[in-house]
Amino acid sequence: MTRLLAAALVTLSLAGPAAAGSPVQADLEAEIVCPTCNTTLDQSNSPIAARMKAFIRARIAAGDSASEIKSQLVDQFGPAVLAEPAKRGFDLLAWLVPLGALTVGVLVVGALAWTWSRGGPTADHVSALDPDLAHRVDEELARFED
Amino acid sequence: MTGRAKAVGQAVAIAAVAGLFALLVWKLAFADKGGAADALARGERPVAPTFVLDRLDASEGEIALADLRGKPIVVNFWASWCIPCKDEAPALQATYEKYRSQGLVVLGIDVRDFRQDARRFVKRFGITYPVVFDGSGSTVGKWGVTGFPETFFVDRSGRLVGKRIQGGIDIERNRQAYDEGLRLVLGSAQ
């Protein structure tokens, strides 16, 4: 039994890295855009999408990695074929700008909340009611109670 | 928050909104609406949008539309996965062979395609006219191409004439427009 478990562990340890490095057809189809319909390949049945799916299948079978397959598709169709912009060069801005905007927004909201919680109006700042107005309010209340 | 900090915050917010508004106006004013095809449909004779693209039919080199100025040109947008493109290919090749001696250039632009598929297509249909590769579709917006195949006529002065032909040039409804386009470009002056 111990030998069987050891053999299973060795098999798993050998198979693990290979499985992790092998691209999955469905994953790539969700990461590549059909150039004529502007949806990802998994959402499209257009002729070029079908051809691209076949290309991906063939490249996976040939042993290419996901990044190699994407690189070949970018070479054919340009960078717009990637559903997500590249994380380098000018395209990196597409990732950094929203993150930066979010960070600035959180900081601004936090600063405002902090300021309001500390600097809000207190009882001292509330101006006293005008005496004439206070008198009129008392009169109205007395009439209302009658 | 001090009055100064508040004023700066408001200024930044107003500047951001103004920037976004300016972007919207710019997009509405200058966005590529229908390309040259729209101008052609309005009866204008727009200058054919320029491009410089790699040749598909040669191992290296490129073709610039500007270099063909002075020649009558039939520009055909196609892709190997497009069925009507296969149907019209023999007719385009026949046009090239018939009018080549009069200076006519048929220029194929293979769009959003695999190079190897396109080369196979060229070989299969015996295409001898020049073909360039536009995998990313960079010409599509400027020309106003909405599908494949589409065919345009560029006269010797570099302007679009006749009608944009949507669909195969070989089908009945396009026959007259195709003949008219050929007549216009072949008879055009530089």
Task: State the residue for tokens 């494949």.
Answer: B148
Closest-CA residue of B relative to A73 is B114
Q: Which element (helix H / strand E) includes B63?
A: strand B62-64
Provide the pLDDT confidence category of residue A35 given band limits of 50, 70 and 90. very high
* Closest approach of B35 to chain A, Cα-based (Å): 17
B112/A contact by beta carbon, under 8 A: yes
Q: Do B114 and A112 touch (CB under 8 A)?
A: no
Q: Which residue has the tokens 């032909």?
A: B165
Residue with tokens 């009866």: B43
Q: What is the average per-residue pLDDT within A29-53? A: 95
CB atoms within 10 A of CB B91: 15
In this complex, the residue of A80, A115, A119 whose CB is nearest that of residue B136 is A80
Tokens 């992790």 belong to residue: A20
| pLDDT digits 0-9 by tens, B74-87 | 999 999 999 999 99
Radius of gyration of chain B (CA): 22
* Contact between A47 and B82 using a beta-carbon 8 Å cutoff: yes
Is residue B75 within 8 Å of residue B109, measured between CB atoms?
Answer: yes
Residue entry with tokens 């799916």: A53
User: How many interchain CB pairs under 8 A, A with B?
Assistant: 34
Q: In chain B, which residue's Cα lies nearest the Cα of A52?
A: B114
d(C-alpha B103, C-alpha A107), whole Å:
67
Burial of A139 per CB tally in 10 Å (0-12, 13-18, 19+): exposed
**Mean pLDDT highest for which of A82-96, B11-25, B65-79?**
B65-79
Three-class SS of residue A122? coil
In this prediction, residues A121-131 reach a mean pLDDT of 65
Rounded to a whole number of angstroms, the distance from the CA of B135 to the nearest CA of chain A is: 4
Q: How far, in Å, CA of B145 to CA of B109, rounded?
A: 11
The CA radius of gyration of chain A, in Å to the nearest whole number, is 33
Q: What is the DSSP letter of B106?
A: E
The answer, yes or no, to whether residue A142 has pLDDT greater than 90, is no
pLDDT(A14) > 60: no
- Average pLDDT, stretch B120-135? 97
Contacts of B114 in chain A (CB under 8 A): 51, 55, 76
